[in-house]
Amino acid sequence: MNVTVQIERRNNEPPRPEWICPSCHQGARHSEVRANLMVCPHCDHHLRIGARERIQQLTDEGTFGELWTMVTTLDPLQFVDLESYPDRVREAQAKTGLGEAIVTGIASIDSTPCVLAVMDFGFMGGSMGSVVGEKLWRSAELASGEDLPLVAVCTSGGARMQEGILSLMQMAKTSCAVDLINEATSPFVTILADPCTGGVVASFATLADICVAEPGARLYFTGPRVIQQTTQEELPPGFSTAERNLELGHLDAVVPRRDLRVKVGNYLRLLGGGEEPDRGEGTEDGTGRSGRLAQAAAERARTLATYARRSFVRGDREAPGPPEEAPAREQSS
């Protein structure tokens, strides 16, 4: 009986919304927010989304084929803070259902085939360690070899401190990967999502042919608080936001999430000369149109990567094999 009275009283209170926007504090139903691509229906605040959801939103249905899932990190520094590094990786894997902070594969965006690399902030803050560097490298290698565009969705807290200097090396490695794509004249487009910071924003994320960001995304190398403490100066309003970066010329566009698929598809067609790339599936020789330039660049870059790859990443592509085999440079003609 008492229970009945309590329920009646509760029913008189205004119903609590299922979901409250962290930005404008207005309520909405989960289904409404989800249908709006995880963007607040009231204030357009873009919520963080994981790699799987991003892929689902960005690509044409059923076109994503994941690659290099078996590439996993080693623990070269035997790093332990409160927990060991392998324990932290295992926890992140259990939490996100992902193998690493980046998911890579082949997909089609608005009917344009491409190689896609998507980072996930939920996996150890989207930090870039050896595996992120390696998978981005392989994506670039595939894109340049197959004459496909590369699209990368970047969200990251920066370098992975558990890998120390090796994670900083990934800035150089991924920058070389961009060089590889450039030499092969494959288009490269990056989408920066909140937050994109540190070593990722300071390497491949901002080296693309076209670099766009989602509204309100925070993009910076060093956090505002640290800058403020160091310089002892008040920072301007909107510091480090996508909109401010656009004003300063660091970005090409700020694109709302609902427009991303079509806009990126347009960019890829524009950069690809207005035609859909021919992946060579229907051609007689089956080799696609990978030009000599791309092959030469791929070979050179592969040589470069050999050293950085072997000791730090356990992968699925090659057995340990003979150490430091000499690159067959003379053979390429």
**Least distance between Zn ion and beta carbon 214 (Å):** 15
Judge contact between 111 and 61, C-beta under 8 A. Answer: no
Binding site for Zn ion (CB under 5 A): 21, 23-24, 40, 42-43, 45
**Least distance between Zn ion and beta carbon 281 (Å):** 44
45 vs 302 by CB, closer to Zn ion = 45
Of the candidates 60, 261, 279, 274, which has an alpha carbon nearest to the alpha carbon of residue 148? 279
**Least distance between Zn ion and beta carbon 37 (Å):** 14
Helices within the chain (DSSP H only): 2-12, 30-35, 51-58, 85-96, 130-146, 164-183, 198-201, 224-231, 242-247, 260-271, 292-310
31 vs 311 by CB, closer to Zn ion = 31
Region of 194 (left: φ > 0; alpha: ψ -120 to 50; beta: rest) is beta
40 vs 313 by CB, closer to Zn ion = 40
Supply the DSSP symbol for 241: B
- Measure Cα distances from 290 to 59, 107, 199, 293, 304 in Å: 24, 18, 31, 8, 20
Judge contact between 115 and 106, C-beta under 8 A. Answer: yes
**Least distance between Zn ion and beta carbon 24 (Å):** 3
19 vs 79 by CB, closer to Zn ion = 19
42 vs 258 by CB, closer to Zn ion = 42
Maximum alpha-carbon separation in the chain = 90
Q: Cα(53)–Cα(140) distance, rounded to whole angstroms? A: 23
**Least distance between Zn ion and beta carbon 32 (Å):** 12
**Least distance between Zn ion and beta carbon 15 (Å):** 18
46 vs 88 by CB, closer to Zn ion = 46
Beta bridge partners of 150: 115, 188
